[in-house]
């Protein structure tokens, strides 16, 4: 592969429109006679609905429809859940609830009006007769006997029990020198894309064959099309879904939401274009939440720090319903419970629990940050218990570089890795030895400085289709136009990752063109062949590989044309600077423009060749990929206030081969910021009545510029052999690596006081209390 553009820092092709305000997100799209939707949402965490009176709202001038559950029952199918696990209770879940509401923010009525202000006015005119029911928001309490039940028919709030194990866990515990126990709370957080969800639908009645067009802010346009078609009983080829600019997703836009079928339904029913743009309060109430696990951990260890067994019980809060993938998310925690370590005996039991809260589903990293958090906190707890350096415990347990491909006790096969090298590079970068010496001196002076290490391995590039809830392949088309310029179509529908640039790099490199010669299109089911989407760090490794494979096909055909025109052998032709020529004879060349034109004019085709220069590939990966790395946070803590100050933040990631260093940096930065947000600030809080106390940016704190340290980034490169690009994926690395690094740093800073754990978010008040409580002893 030529390496002229691949690996370079190339500024993004998508940026000019985004920095000049000319890009179009869903809410920016104008259609004639557009109507607006507003949703009435439950104000109770749990209540029976005796009656909904919408008569006054219907009378308000400008209002054209008010919909409740009765209007959609029997018309729309229940919402799908494709991430199921065996033997689970599967509640019926409708876009508008009737009879009962189970969380604050659950939609119960939709108003359509010719003006967005009028639609909101009308909500005040709807009268709901609620009968409040007892609420349960705490998972441990939800599992107690006599707890209020969300679904009386199940007789319990346990949604499912899922187990995974490997080796002989009982034997491991018998043979251990010590058992290290921990209870960790991985709190509920919100993904918070800056663009809230938004849906616009238009139905064009073309006699018999109408066409429904839906613009939605999603990571998976084709999947949304399939779901809409299924729920509305429409043939899929008459539904077109467009994801224009998508203002961030972070996993919560991998879902299929009730609003995404209701808005199209209303557009068809009312025969006007209908738009809904989620408000921020709605977004925090009714867009997927993430994490929310309680981990009960038992590690069986030898006195030298070797971990011989790991037993974990997980309570995973599902919230009130399942969304598309909800039950599957904590199964990823189970699959990844060995992390980068050679732990021969493991077992995990996951209990999915219903509570009166919004549903949890995918959020950046989805299940793997939880695995890394429990594991990396455990490694530090083991080190503390055995009085060993946290580095020593990690090095002792790492899988060795020569052992790859490595099969874990949970049955995964890690492709390639060198965990020692990444940790060592991070230690060298931060100056670990010196820092430890400094820490010793500072402690003698009563000052608290902590060093937190987090080594991770993540499962990425989702994935082989057999092992994923949706298909795990990805598609691409590379089309050389008659001008010799190139259009690329990708099923990897981005939301800020920059595929228009990275995929253009791959193609421009392969064809010997410039970045300007290649355009990448995505996010429109009428333009792009079926695709899966962007999530699980799959864009480059799977989507990019599809592009690469389509490129090889089209190159082969272009070579045939060029050889025919040059009267040379098509094998081994070189593509460079817009020309094609035999390697040993650069003087004898044709331009790609000439080849393109010849392919479409088709006056003189090579034998057995069709006109045109287009190729499509559907790439099915043979395995996941397993990026890894080590993050180190160094913090100072003010003993008087519990306030944290960052000294250093060092990240060494290994995502295999890198296509564009600039966008990789961007992904890691953003990932760290989100993981840091969970470690220090972010927390979705419901009170005991199920009221959401963190329903706005006043109460839900996402990090601002001055909250964050300067990130010092470095890389090791261990390519994968799973795909020809050797790329593993990097979108979630920062989020996975950062959270435990920061918590480990804070706990380490207070370790000499006897502090062994503080649950996130590590607000100054909590840290201050931990200092006070332990200083007393």
Q: How far apart are CA 251 and CA 319, in angstroms?
A: 17
Cβ–Cβ under 8 Å, residues 424 and 409: no
Beta bridge partners of 345: 309
Residue whose C-alpha is closest to residue 455's, from 413, 408, 423? 423
Q: How far apart are CA 484 and CA 156, in angstroms?
A: 64
Residue among 23 and 64 whose Cβ is closer to other proteins:
23
CA atoms within 13 A on the CB side of 447: 10
Could you say whether residue 248 binds other proteins (CB under 8 A)?
yes
Out of 23, 60, 123, 568, name the contact with other proteins by CB under 8 A. Answer: 23
CB of 225 to other proteins, least distance (A): 22
By rule CB under 8 A, what count of residues binds other proteins? 57
CB of 5 to other proteins, least distance (A): 16
Q: How far apart are CA 112 and CA 118, in angstroms?
A: 9
DSSP 360: B
Q: Which two tokens stand for residue 225?
A: 């099309």
For residue 769, the surrounding DSSP H or E stretch is: helix 764-776
Cβ–Cβ under 8 Å, residues 474 and 546: yes
Q: Euclidean distance between the first and final Cα of the chain, in Å?
A: 64
CA atoms within 13 A on the CB side of 636: 11
Residue among 634 and 664 whose Cβ is closer to other proteins:
664
Q: How far apart are CA 747 and CA 736, in angstroms?
A: 18
Out of 669, 756, 766, 774, name the contact with other proteins by CB under 8 A. Answer: 669
Could you say whether residue 4 binds other proteins (CB under 8 A)?
no
Please identify, among the stretches 122-130, 163-171, 381-389, 671-679, the one whose residues bind other proteins according to the rule CB under 8 A.
671-679
Could you say whether residue 245 binds other proteins (CB under 8 A)?
yes
Could you say whether residue 672 binds other proteins (CB under 8 A)?
yes
The phi and psi torsions of 79 (rounded to 5 degrees) equal: -65, 145
Please identify, among the stretches 69-77, 152-160, 540-548, 693-701, the one whose residues bind other proteins according to the rule CB under 8 A.
693-701
CB of 704 to other proteins, least distance (A): 6
CA distances from 394 to 236, 378, 449 (A): 51, 11, 21
Out of 1, 11, 161, 601, name the contact with other proteins by CB under 8 A. Answer: 11
Could you say whether residue 20 binds other proteins (CB under 8 A)?
yes
Residue among 388 and 702 whose Cβ is closer to other proteins:
702
Residue among 255 and 298 whose Cβ is closer to other proteins:
255
CA atoms within 13 A on the CB side of 226: 13
Q: How far apart are CA 749 and CA 443, in angstroms?
A: 9
Could you say whether residue 752 binds other proteins (CB under 8 A)?
no
Omega before residue 405 within 30° of 0, cis: yes
For residue 35, the surrounding DSSP H or E stretch is: strand 35-41
Beta bridge partners of 301: 178, 307
Sign (positive/negative) of CA torsion 444, 449, 454, 455? negative
Out of 133, 673, 745, 771, name the contact with other proteins by CB under 8 A. Answer: 673
CB of 71 to other proteins, least distance (A): 28
Could you say whether residue 378 binds other proteins (CB under 8 A)?
no
Could you say whether residue 154 binds other proteins (CB under 8 A)?
no
CB of 510 to other proteins, least distance (A): 24
Cβ–Cβ under 8 Å, residues 284 and 190: yes
Largest CA distance in the chain: 91
Where in 649-668 is the site for other proteins (CB under 8 A)?
662-663, 665-667
Q: How far apart are CA 200 and CA 213, in angstroms?
A: 8
Out of 5, 6, 27, 518, name the contact with other proteins by CB under 8 A. Answer: 27
Could you say whether residue 259 binds other proteins (CB under 8 A)?
no
Could you say whether residue 68 binds other proteins (CB under 8 A)?
no
CA distances from 436 to 427, 442, 718 (A): 11, 10, 29
Residue among 704 and 777 whose Cβ is closer to other proteins:
704
Which x/- pattern over 264-303 shows residues binding other proteins (rule: CB under 8 A)? Answer: -------------x-xx-----------------------
Residue among 415 and 524 whose Cβ is closer to other proteins:
524
Please identify, among the stretches 13-21, 105-113, 515-523, 636-644, the one whose residues bind other proteins according to the rule CB under 8 A.
13-21
Residue among 14 and 474 whose Cβ is closer to other proteins:
14
Could you say whether residue 483 binds other proteins (CB under 8 A)?
no
Residue among 71 and 121 whose Cβ is closer to other proteins:
121
Out of 105, 193, 330, 543, name the contact with other proteins by CB under 8 A. Answer: 193
Could you say whether residue 696 binds other proteins (CB under 8 A)?
yes
CB of 39 to other proteins, least distance (A): 15
**468 contacts: CB under 8 Å, gap ≥ 6:** 462
Q: What is the DSSP string of 258-287?
A: THHHHHHHHHHHHTS-EEEE--HHHHHHHS
CB of 481 to other proteins, least distance (A): 26
Please identify, among the stretches 14-22, 126-134, 322-330, 450-458, the one whose residues bind other proteins according to the rule CB under 8 A.
14-22
Q: How far apart are CA 123 and CA 38, in angstroms?
A: 7
Q: How far apart are CA 416 and CA 411, in angstroms?
A: 15
Cβ–Cβ under 8 Å, residues 623 and 722: yes
Could you say whether residue 670 binds other proteins (CB under 8 A)?
yes
Could you say whether residue 12 binds other proteins (CB under 8 A)?
yes
Could you say whether residue 19 binds other proteins (CB under 8 A)?
yes
Where in 210-239 is the site for other proteins (CB under 8 A)?
none
Residue among 105 and 719 whose Cβ is closer to other proteins:
105
Out of 106, 195, 259, 524, name the contact with other proteins by CB under 8 A. Answer: 195
Residue whose C-alpha is closest to residue 331's, from 688, 84, 37? 84
Could you say whether residue 708 binds other proteins (CB under 8 A)?
yes
Beta strands in 355-416 (DSSP E): 406-407, 413-414
Residue whose C-alpha is closest to residue 720's, from 421, 413, 506? 413
Out of 218, 372, 497, 744, name the contact with other proteins by CB under 8 A. Answer: 497
CA atoms within 13 A on the CB side of 354: 26
Count CB atoms within 10 A of the CB of residue 61.
Answer: 9
Out of 495, 557, 564, 728, name the contact with other proteins by CB under 8 A. Answer: 495
Could you say whether residue 702 binds other proteins (CB under 8 A)?
yes
Residue among 194 and 466 whose Cβ is closer to other proteins:
194
CA distances from 330 to 41, 336, 403 (A): 28, 10, 28
Please identify, among the stretches 246-254, 549-557, 584-592, 746-754, the one whose residues bind other proteins according to the rule CB under 8 A.
246-254
Parallel/antiparallel/unpaired status of strands 47-53 and 100-101: antiparallel
Could you say whether residue 372 binds other proteins (CB under 8 A)?
no
Out of 516, 526, 697, 773, name the contact with other proteins by CB under 8 A. Answer: 697
Which x/- pattern over 112-151 shows residues binding other proteins (rule: CB under 8 A)? Answer: ----xx----------------------------------
Could you say whether residue 247 binds other proteins (CB under 8 A)?
yes
Q: Scan for tokens 């592969």, then name that residue.
A: 1
The phi and psi torsions of 430 (rounded to 5 degrees) equal: -85, -15
Q: Scan for tokens 């287009």, then name that residue.
A: 614
CB of 279 to other proteins, least distance (A): 6
Could you say whether residue 194 binds other proteins (CB under 8 A)?
yes
Could you say whether residue 244 binds other proteins (CB under 8 A)?
no
Could you say whether residue 693 binds other proteins (CB under 8 A)?
no
Residues at the interface with other proteins (CB under 8 A): 11-12, 14-16, 18-25, 27-28, 30, 116-117, 192-196, 245-248, 250, 277, 279-280, 495-498, 662-663, 665-667, 669-674, 696-698, 702, 704-706, 708, 710-711, 734
């Amino acid at each position: 592969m030529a390496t002229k553009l691949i690996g370079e820092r190339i500024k993004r092709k998508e940026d000019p429109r985004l920095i000049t305000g000319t890009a179009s997100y869903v809410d920016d799209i104008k259609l004639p006679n557009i109507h607006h939707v507003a949703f009435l949402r439950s104000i109770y965490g749990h209540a029976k609905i005796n009656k909904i009176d919408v008569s006054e709202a219907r009378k308000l001038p400008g209002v054209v429809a008010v919909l409740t559950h009765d209007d959609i029952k029997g018309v729309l199918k229940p919402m799908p859940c494709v991430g199921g696990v065996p033997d689970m209770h599967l509640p019926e879940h409708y876009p508008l609830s009737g009879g009962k509401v189970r969380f604050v923010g659950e939609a119960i009525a939709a108003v359509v009006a010719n003006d967005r202000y009028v639609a909101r006015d009308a909500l005040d005119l709807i009268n709901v007769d609620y009968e409040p029911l007892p609420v349960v928001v705490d998972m441990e309490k939800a599992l107690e006997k006599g707890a209020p039940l969300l679904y009386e028919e199940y007789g319990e709030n346990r949604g499912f029990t899922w187990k995974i194990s490997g080796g002989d866990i009982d034997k491991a515990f018998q043979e251990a020198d010590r058992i290290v126990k921990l209870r960790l709370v991985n709190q509920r957080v919100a993904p918070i894309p800056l663009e809230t969800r938004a849906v616009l639908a238009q139905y064009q009645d073309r006699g018999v064959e109408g066409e429904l067009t839906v613009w939605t802010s999603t990571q998976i346009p084709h999947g949304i099309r399939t779901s809409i078609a299924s729920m509305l009983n429409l043939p899929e080829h008459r539904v077109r879904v467009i994801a224009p600019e998508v203002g961030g997703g972070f996993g919560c836009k991998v879902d299929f939401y009730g609003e995404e079928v209701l808005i199209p339904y209303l557009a068809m029913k009312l025969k006007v274009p209908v738009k809904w743009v989620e408000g921020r309060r709605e977004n925090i109430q009714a867009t997927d939440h993430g994490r929310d696990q309680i981990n009960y951990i038992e590690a069986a260890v030898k006195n030298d720090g070797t971990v011989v067994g790991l037993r974990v019980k997980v309570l995973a809060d599902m919230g009130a319903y399942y969304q598309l993938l909800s039950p599957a998310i904590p199964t990823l925690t189970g699959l990844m419970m060995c992390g980068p370590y050679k732990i021969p005996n493991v077992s995990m039991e996951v209990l999915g629990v219903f509570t009166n809260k919004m549903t949890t589903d995918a959020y950046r990293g989805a299940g793997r940050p939880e695995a890394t958090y429990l594991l990396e906190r455990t490694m530090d707890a083991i080190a503390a218990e055995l009085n060993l350096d946290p580095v020593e415990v990690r090095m002792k347990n790492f899988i060795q570089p020569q052992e790859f491909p490595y099969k874990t006790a949970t049955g995964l096969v890690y492709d390639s890795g060198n965990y020692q090298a990444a940790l060592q590079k991070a230690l060298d970068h931060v100056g670990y030895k010196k820092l430890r010496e400094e820490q010793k001196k500072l402690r003698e002076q009563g000052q608290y400085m902590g060093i937190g290490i987090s080594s991770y391995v993540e499962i990425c590039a989702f994935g082989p289709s057999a092992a994923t809830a949706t298909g795990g392949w990805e598609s691409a088309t590379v089309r050389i136009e008659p001008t010799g310029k190139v259009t690329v179509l990708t099923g990897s529908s981005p939301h800020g990752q920059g595929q228009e640039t990275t995929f253009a790099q791959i193609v421009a490199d392969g064809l010997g063109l410039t970045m300007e010669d290649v355009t990448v299109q995505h996010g429109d089911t009428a333009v792009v062949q079926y695709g899966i989407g962007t999530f699980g760090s799959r864009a480059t490794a799977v989507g990019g590989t599809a592009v690469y494979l389509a490129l090889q096909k089209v190159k082969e055909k272009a070579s045939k044309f060029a050889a025919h025109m040059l009267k040379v052998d098509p094998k081994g032709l070189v593509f460079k600077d817009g020309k094609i020529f035999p390697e040993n004879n650069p003087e004898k060349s044709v331009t790609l423009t000439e080849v393109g034109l010849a392919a479409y004019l088709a006056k003189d085709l090579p034998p057995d060749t069709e006109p045109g220069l287009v190729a499509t590939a559907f790439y099915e990966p043979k395995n996941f990929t397993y990026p890894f790395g080590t993050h180190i946070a160094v913090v100072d803590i003010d003993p008087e206030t519990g306030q944290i100050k960052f000294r250093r933040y060092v990240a060494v990631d290994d995502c295999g081969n890198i296509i564009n260093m600039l966008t990789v940096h961007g992904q890691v930065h953003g990932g760290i910021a989100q993981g840091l947000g969970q470690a220090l600030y972010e927390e979705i809080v419901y009170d005991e009545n199920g009221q959401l106390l963190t329903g706005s940016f006043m109460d839900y704190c996402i990090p601002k510029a001055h909250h964050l340290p300067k990130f010092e980034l470095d890389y090791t490169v261990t390519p994968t052999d799973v795909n020809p690009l050797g790329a593993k994926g990097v979108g979630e690395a920062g989020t996975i690596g950062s959270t435990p690094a920061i918590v480990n740093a804070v706990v380490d800073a207070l370790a000499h006081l006897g502090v062994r754990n503080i649950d996130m978010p590590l607000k100054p008040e909590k840290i201050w209390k931990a200092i006070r409580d332990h200083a007393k002893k």
